[in-house]
Amino acid sequence: MDMVTILSYSERIDLQLELATLANEITNKLSGNSISAVIGYGIKDKVDVLSKNFDKVFVIDSEDLKLFNPITYANVLLNIVNNTKPDIILISDTKRGGAIASALSALLDTGCITEVTKVELVNDDLVIYRGAYGGLGLAQTKILTSPKIIAVKPGSYPRPTAIKNGIIEEMKVDIKKPEIELVEFRAKETGARLNESDVVVVAGRGVKKKDDLQMLEDLAKILGGVVGCSRPLSADLGWCPTWVGMSGVTIKPKLYIGVGVSGQIQHIAGIRDSKIIVAINIDPNAPIFEYVDYGIIGDLYKVVPKLIDELKKIKG
């Protein structure tokens, strides 16, 4: 490939920046253009930061995009694809992004890989890594058609330092609104951005009441971190807006502390790249102990307060 064109899209500006890092990595080696697509409603004021990280930013801002639907969004994105003829399309693999990438792949009749955690350039070709078999494995894959659509898990790449001075171009396109009506929206509490913190304390089923999360908040605060939940606490009990693990958030903090987390493989898949993994669990047989650097077998309601006390002594 000489002179590649890479088009990046995410519904979130911060995740666009993660994609910019990957795009830069590729264009630094192969030379080419890194383009950003921003689509939605009421978003055009927020794109300045992208021009510092991409060569060009296309903006489609329309009230017709107020109601999200992956197929509508993919069709809108198709306009920018037709305009820019990218070789590679990077989309952040959020719930919305993954579906847009998939729909776009069907519209373009080209290959798409989701759940991507790493992309490598080998002999001018992309080797794409994604989780496999419920997070137990890693798959090395290759897309055989063009453009290659790659949906990258949030948190897989850091943010770049601004180096570009790109141009912003607004586009007007015809939008076919979906025949879907939004009846009601119930916002979730916006939780901490788990994949941006150096320290993440995750509550598992061993935590008995929602109020007990405060204890974990205290621990996280001393360590300068945030608190997240495992899947059952989020999906079943609704204590957190999202969870750590497959189909939730993938994190790779410097320190992960699982408190009362048993460690299902889908959870492990979401924390595997953490630098240090610590677990506190009363059950010596909790599978998480197979994946830890440090494991404490004991009652979290006794261990965590003690840990907080001792850390307070050190940190004053």
Partner 1 sequence: MPNIIVCVKQSYDVQQLRYDKVSKQFLLAEAPKKMSDTDRRAVEEALRIREKYGGKVIILTVGNQDSIDAIRQAYAMGADEGYAIIDKDYENFDTNNVAMILAQAIRKMGNFDLVLCGAESTDGYSRQVPVKVAVYLGLPFINFVRELRLEGNYVIATSDYEDGLYIYRVKMPAIVAVTLDINEPRTPTPSAILRASRKPITQWTLKDIGVDGVKVHFKVLNTYVPEVRRKRIILDASTDDKIVNAVQKLIDALRQERII
Partner 2 sequence: MSVPISYPKDTVVSFTKDEIMFRESVREFAQKHIAPKWIEVDEEASKDPMKIPLDSIKKIADQGLFCIPCSDKYGGQGGTYTMATIAVEELAYADPAVALAVYTLLNNGWPFALQLFGREEISQEVIPRVSKGEAFFGIASTEPQGGSDVAGIRMTAKKSNNVYVFNGEKAYISGVGEVQVLPWGGGWFLIARTGETGHRGLSAFAFLAKKNGVIGKGWYPTIYHDIGRHGLTTGGFKCENFELDKDYLIGEENKGFYYVMEGFNLARILVAAATVGGARWLLEQAVQWFRTRKLFGKYIASFEGISFRFAELYAKYEAARYFVYRASRLADKIYIEKDPAYNPRDLNVPVALAKMYGPELATELGQEVMKWYGAYAYTKESPIHRAWLGLFSYTIGAEGAQNIMRYIIARDLIGSEYMRD
For position 55 contacting partner 1 by CB under 8 A, the verdict is no
Within 10 Å of residue 123's Cβ, how many Cβ atoms? 5
Decide which of partner 2, partner 1, none touches 142; Cβ closer than 5 to 8 Å per partner kind.
partner 1
CA distance 88 to 267: 30
Closest distance of CB 253 from partner 2, Å: 23
How many residues sit close enough to partner 1 to count as binding (CB under 8 A)?
87
Place of tokens 């050190």: 314
| Alpha-carbon span 109 to 118, nearest angstrom | 23
User: What track of x and - describes contact with partner 1 for positions 296 through 315 (by CB under 8 A)?
Assistant: xxxx--xx--xx--xx--xx
Whole-angstrom CA distances from 152 to 96, 157, 190, 241 are: 12, 9, 22, 21
For the CB of residue 275, give the shortest distance to partner 2 in the complex, in Å: 21
Q: Which range in 77-85, 124-132, 162-170, 212-220 contacts partner 1 by CB under 8 A?
A: 124-132
- The neighbouring-strand residues paired with 90 are 8, 150
Binding residues among 145-204 for partner 1 as defined by CB under 8 A: 145, 178-188, 190, 199
Phi/psi of residue 117, each to 5°? -115, -15
Asked if 88 and 26 touch (Cβ cutoff 8 Å), the reply is: yes
DSSP secondary structure, 10-73, as one string: -SSHHHHHHHHHHHHHHHHHH-EEEEEEEEESS-GGG-HHHHTTSSEEEEEE-GGGSS--HHHH
In one letter, which amino acid is 248?
G
Cβ proximity to partner 1: between 162 and 237 the closer is: 237
Instruction: State the Cα–Cα distance between residues 50 and 168, nearest whole angstrom.
Output: 9
- Contact call for residue 39 and partner 1 (CB under 8 A): no
Parallel, antiparallel, or unpaired: how do β-strands 112-122 and 125-132 relate? antiparallel
**Contact between residue 300 and residue 282 where contact means Cβ atoms under 8 Å apart:** yes
Find the binder of partner 1 among 3, 127, 162, 167 (CB under 8 A): 127
Q: Measured from the CB of residue 309, what is the shortest distance to partner 1 in angstroms?
A: 8
d(CA 166, CA 34): 9
Least spacing, CB of residue 12 vs partner 1, in Å: 9
* Residue closer to partner 1 (CB basis): 115 or 218: 115
- Interface pattern 213-252 for partner 1 (x via CB under 8 A): ----------x-----------xx----xx---xx-----
CA–CA dist 84, 35 (Å, integer)? 8
Q: Which of residues 72-111 bind partner 1 (CB under 8 A)?
A: 74, 94-96, 98-99, 101-103, 105-107, 109-111
Residues that bind partner 2 (CB under 8 A): 284-285, 287, 289-290, 295, 297
CB 147, min distance to partner 1, A: 11
285 binds, among partner 1, partner 2, none (CB under 5 to 8 A by kind): partner 2
Task: Answer yes or no whether residue 138 interacts with partner 1 by CB under 8 A.
Answer: yes
- Quote the DSSP letter at residue 174: -
Partner whose footprint covers residue 312, from partner 2, partner 1, none (CB < 5 to 8 Å by kind):
none
Residue closer to partner 1 by CB (options 124, 293) is: 293
Residue among 125 and 290 whose Cβ is closer to partner 2: 290
Helix orientation angle between 95-108 and 70-84, rounded to the nearest 10 degrees: 60
